[in-house]
Amino acid sequence: MPAAPVRDPGAWQLVRDGCRMTLCGPVADGALAIDLDLAQGPLSRRLRQARGDDPLARAVGLGKAATPPRLVDATAGLGRDAMTLAHLGCPVLAIERVPALAYLVAAAIEGTWLARNLTVRLGDAVAMLAGLADANRPDVVLLDPMFEEQGNAQVKKAMQACRALAGPPDDPAPLFAAARRAARERVVVKREASAPPLAGEPSFAVAGERVRFDVYLAPPR
Ligand SMILES: C[S@@+](CC[C@H](N)C(=O)[O-])C[C@H]1O[C@@H](n2cnc3c(N)ncnc32)[C@H](O)[C@@H]1O
């Protein structure tokens, strides 16, 4: 991808400053700026404070498994959930269909400890999950297709950026169906705490602070 010689205030751009990569929105749209800083700030704190008994980790089955589950995060977005799980030891393939977001996450983890466990791929997760060879099917598929306003100001700002780039949410049914077919063990769907389940009653749910993780266990084979 060619580098622009100067910042264009009318366009979305990825701006590199040393090892920090920032996604900058058009000034006319409020100049959203999202950076994935692994050295300091909220993301770095979130990773340092992550524990194996956190709701997300419990929902993917991290606590119980003898070895960390292999995951596909099919809605990578800004990669925070994928990074958290990779930091906790899970091999994660993160799929994101918006090029700027996929590139931002890939650039943020490049050369860091997270790159050992986390791979970022640009593409449509419905097609990519369907195309997985049997040997590459993950234990767990994580879905976070929600776009509602949620959480604190930082989270809202990040969601605004995701929404502005990703456009309106589409029907999540094909993604859920592809996830169900691909996951050997479970599909985990992240929802706002008060939102109804995405795809009927889950096997069980794990409550987080502001969100809920609905867990759909694969039927026994
Ligand atoms: C709410 S964000 C995910 C936030 C993410 N959990 C995080 O920790 O930053 C949802 C993302 O899913 C992506 N997405 C939705 N459907 C997708 C699909 N079929 N394939 C790939 N990405 C998809 C959107 O582009 C958007 O960036």
Q: What pLDDT score does 207 carry?
A: 95
Please name each of the domains of the chain with its CATH number: 51-149+168-217 (3.40.50.150)
C-alpha of residue 156 to centroid of ligand 1, in Å = 15
C-alpha of residue 160 to centroid of ligand 1, in Å = 13
Q: What pLDDT score does 6 carry?
A: 80
C-alpha of residue 95 to centroid of ligand 1, in Å = 8
C-alpha of residue 75 to centroid of ligand 1, in Å = 3
Helix, coil or strand: residue 91: coil
Which residues of the chain carry a pLDDT beneath 50?
Answer: none
Please give the distance of CA 181 from its chain centroid, rounded to a whole number.
Answer: 20
Task: Report residues whose beta carbon is within 6 angstroms of any ligand 1 atom.
Answer: 75, 77-81, 95-98, 101, 124-126, 144-147, 162, 166, 175
- Cα angle 8, 83, 162 (rounded to 5 degrees) comes to 40
Return d(Cα 79, Cα 120) in angstroms, integer.
9
Return d(Cα 74, Cα 127) in angstroms, integer.
11
Report the relative pairing of strands 33-35 and 20-24 from DSSP bridges.
antiparallel
The number of the ligand 1 atom at minimal distance from the alpha carbon of 190 is: 6
